[in-house]
Amino acid sequence: MARYGAQYGPDITFLGVERCDLGDPDSIAGADVIIIGAPFDGGTSYRSGARFGPQAIRAADYLAHDGSRPSLALRVDGLTDLRVLDAGDVELFSGDAARSVRDLEVEVEKVARAGVVPVVLGGDHTITWPDATGVARGRDAWGRVSLVHFDAHADTGDSEFGSLIGHGQPMRRLIESGAVRGDRFLQIGLRGYWPGPQTLGWMAEQRMRSYEMAEIGARGLDDCLTEAFAIATDDCEGVFLSVDVDVCDPGHAPGTGTPEPGGLSARQLLDAVRRVCYELPVVGMDVVEVAPPYDHADITAALGNRVVLEALSAIARRRKDAREGTTWDPRRPLLADRVPGE
């Protein structure tokens, strides 16, 4: 049944889409995308609060929560042209990181094994380790899923506070495990004053490709993305997209745990996510580090919501064009396909 108006409380779904139960195969039959909440922030090293991100992302919208969102740019409706379901939040305990990442991986693997695209709402960036691992296992594509990673930080540290699990280490854990190859790991938007030479040396040894903001500024984001896409699709069966909202300048995403000045604009991030999901075979995705306690006027929650919606719309358009043999043209005027006077 369609839902209208604002949603509140633990039972809300992403923009009013239908609820599903990952323990009931019949409830996910025919799904294209399943939303999963990962309310975990036990891996934070500075400001916690991302455990409240999933519900904030789901609810951040000013339109009726009726399970429909037609994209003006892409001329599709990601919530109706795809069958999008919401499985609710995985029960995660921020005080037990090892158990939490294990439990989340199990749920993501269920979705991927069903041939469905999991979209995980974080939570801190620790969750990308179990998210991408679950997709690699579920798709029987160990080491053959590339990762496109938008972030201010490399997240390739080894140990923090005596723990191997945290939001500064998931990318190292993924590469060390073999779930994702280092030479198919693309990082976009890095900047600031971390990591140091030792960690950078490890990254170079893995043949990671990291686009720091100075390079993006000099070359242009589009050129960097085009180059990254060529690497991501070479000898891989699918792409996992991970978006840390702190890739954006804090003026565009203040509600996050480790803000770093000088990042992308919200417009650049949305355009980039659209390109990733339209041009690449995305098999999984997460949006992380939305921390509502530090947000202002729901700016960051709204951005997280729109990142997901932009991804869904682009996936829908990619599938539509594949079926019809057409190509989306961003230069086409909005009303060009409308009959005058209609």
In this prediction, residue 7 carries a pLDDT of 47
- pLDDT tier, 339 (very low <50, low <70, confident <90, very high otherwise): low
Look at residue 160 and tell me whether its pLDDT is greater than 80. Answer: no
Average pLDDT on 269-275 reads: 98
- Give residues with Cβ within 8 angstroms of 257, minimum separation 6: 41, 44, 46, 47, 48, 49, 50, 124, 167, 246, 289, 291, 294
Per-residue pLDDT averaged across 194-209, rounded?
A: 97
* Residue 246 predicted with pLDDT over 70: yes
Distance in angstroms (rounded) separating the CA atoms of residues 237 and 57: 29
Q: Confidence class of residue 164 from pLDDT cuts 50, 70 and 90?
A: confident
What is the structure's pLDDT at 341?
Answer: 52
In terms of pLDDT, which residue wins out, 120 or 163?
A: 120
Mean pLDDT is lowest, of 157-171, 201-215, 281-295, for 157-171
Q: What is the pLDDT of residue 3?
A: 41
Residue 155: exposure state from Cβ atoms within 10 A (0-12, 13-18, ≥19): buried
Is residue 342 pLDDT above 60, yes or no? no
Q: Considering the entire predicted model, what is its pTM?
A: 0.95
What is the DSSP code (8-state) at residue 26?
G
* Average pLDDT over the chain, rounded to an integer: 94
Q: What is the arithmetic mean of pLDDT over 290-319?
A: 98
Does the pLDDT of residue 101 top 60, yes or no? yes
Is the predicted pLDDT of residue 98 greater than 70, yes or no?
A: yes
Range list of H helices, the chain: 53-59, 97-113, 128-138, 170-177, 197-205, 213-219, 221-232, 266-279, 299-324
- Fold for the domain defined by 14-324: Arginase; Chain A (3.40.800)
Average the pLDDT over 66-70 and give the result: 91
Q: Give the tens place of pLDDT for each residue, 1-20.
A: 334 444 455 678 999 999 99
The pLDDT tens digits of the residues spanning 208-226 come to 999 999 999 999 999 999 9
Local structure of 312: helix, strand or coil: helix
Q: In what order do the strands lie in the sheet with 18-19?
A: 18-19, 84-89, 33-38, 117-122, 282-288, 238-244, 145-150, 185-190, 209-212
The pLDDT assigned to 219 comes to: 98
Among candidate residues 68, 53, 88, 83, the one with its CA nearest the CA of residue 3: 68
Assess whether pLDDT exceeds 70 at residue 313: yes
* 108-132 tens-digit pLDDT: 999 999 999 999 999 999 999 999 9
Q: How confident is the model at residue 27 (pLDDT cuts 50, 70, 90)?
A: very high
Q: What is the mean pLDDT of residues 179-188?
A: 98
pLDDT for the residue 299: 97
Say whether pLDDT at 292 is over 70.
yes
Per-residue pLDDT, 336: 83
Average pLDDT over residues 222-237: 97
Q: Contact 305/60 with Cβ under 8 angstroms?
A: yes
Neighbouring CB atoms inside 10 A of 61's CB total 20
Complete DSSP assignment for 246-274:
GGB-TTT--SSSS--SS-B-HHHHHHHHH
- In the chain, where the domains are located: 14-324
Q: Is 145 exposed, middle or buried (0-12, 13-18, 19+ CB in 10 A)?
A: buried
- Of all residues in the chain, what percent carry a pLDDT higher than 90? 87
